[in-house]
Amino acid sequence: MKTFLRYFLSLKLTVTLLSLSMILVFCGTLAQVDKGIWTVMEQYFRTWIAWIDLSIFTKSESVASVSLPFPGGFLIGSLLSLNLLIVHAKTFRIFVRGKRLIIGSILLFSGLILTAGVILGWGSAPVATTESDAFWRVLFRLGRGTLAAVILFIACYFLYKKRAGMVLLHAGILMLLIGEFFTALFAVESTMTVREGQAINFIDRSQRFEIAFIETSNPNFDRVTIIPAKMLKPGKEIKSDQLPFSIYVHSMFANSSQPQLITNINGFSTDNYPNYKSVGEKFFVAPIREVSGASGERNAPAFDIELLDKSSGDSLGRFMLSLWFYPNFVNQIWDLPNEYSLDSEKFKFYLRNEREFTESISGNPYSIELLDFVHDKYEGTQTPKDFTSKIRLINEGDEVDRELKIWMNNPLRYSKRTFYQSGFLPDDKGTVLQVVRNDSWMIPYLSCMIVFVGMGAQFIWSMGRAKKKGSL
């Protein structure tokens, strides 16, 4: 046990872990040349063991499939946190007794409760009512965070005396590491695409996909059956009690080319081209290389599927599904669902981003209606200067019905989600909002406040000691 503690108390371990983190960041940066940023995040940073492809250092085909294990972001971060925690517990012991201990403990408990309240948003308004409200609401939470840091400092002063600044500094760094860990695990990024005059009550998960079969025979409602993309493995047949047919997956493309009309492709031959139905009869897509994180582009997965009769196994038609055919993908305005009819049942189906319906903390659904979209450009150019979404937030269950504005660097925060102005449709008649849910978004700000207070106190005491010694 002593050997274990001595190892984790070592400064060498800290330096080693920091060096490993620098190497990991370097490799992750190189990997983005060939892989999307989300793939790199999952493969290098949001994992315990990262498998580093040697091909990021050289384009030699001899190492194209060779990967080496390396400590992942989770492992390095956890060891750093453990190292810091053990060093802190060993170095900074509480030696005070009596009233000082009681007062310090009460203040410490109060500071921790206030800190938790700031992180969880206790006492904060659920939504900003004016453009300036968002600023003041965030500033209010930062003010409470500063107050929590000051209370924690006073508590540390009672418990640790003049070492309080260093204790608080370590606590702030540890909180920052823990916050980043929770962000990596639980933060969710999505998009919401809304056209003028349209009200939307769902968001699209950016990195998750699904096939939605929409049965449209009933004039009063649509029946939707969802097949998650993770179930769609090449060579696998999927059956659902909700569908009158089964689905066989021929192949999957990690990224597909933009659709082209077959009639516009010179010399196009159908000899080796599957006999697709519906959209695949008119539009051609092909597998292409995955885009890199540096390009700013997004991959458009595609699936080659075949519908089969459940009883006989006979083919009912082969279809090409690409994310390009989904209207909410990369700010496009296309809407190209595949269509199929079986007896009296009519289906249209998409490959689309995984859909998540919006609901408030109280569990009531809400929607966002786009009233107006304004796109300002620099005079004489097509370069965007500013774009603003005037929206209406509707939540009948919570009695919310307000008109608000979302523009660059001025998001809407509502019910644990933040809506950022991200883009717009090509015809300037719709907006694209980046939707982020990160319950720990205040932790980095609060950590910085705690580090600032601790560092400031330590600096002042160091200056005081220097003056007493006659150094200044």
Tens digit of each residue's pLDDT (9 = 90 or more) over 2-18 = 676 677 777 788 889 99
Distance between CA atoms of residues 137 and 141, nearest Å = 6
- Please give the mean pLDDT across all residues of the chain: 86
Structure tokens at 92: 């900074």
Residue range 416-443: average pLDDT?
87
User: Model confidence at 123, in pLDDT bands (50, 70, 90)?
Assistant: low
Which has more pLDDT, 87 or 315?
315
Other C-beta atoms closer than 10 Å to the C-beta of 363 total: 8
Residue range 371-375: average pLDDT?
92
CB-based contacts of 435: which residues, under 8 Å, 6+ apart?
189, 190, 191, 192, 203, 417, 418, 419, 420
Cβ 406 vs Cβ 420: under 8 Å = yes
What's the pTM? 0.74
- What pLDDT was estimated at residue 271? 75
User: Model confidence at 129, in pLDDT bands (50, 70, 90)?
Assistant: very low
Ranges of each domain in the chain: 1-91, 96-187+443-472, 207-355, 359-437
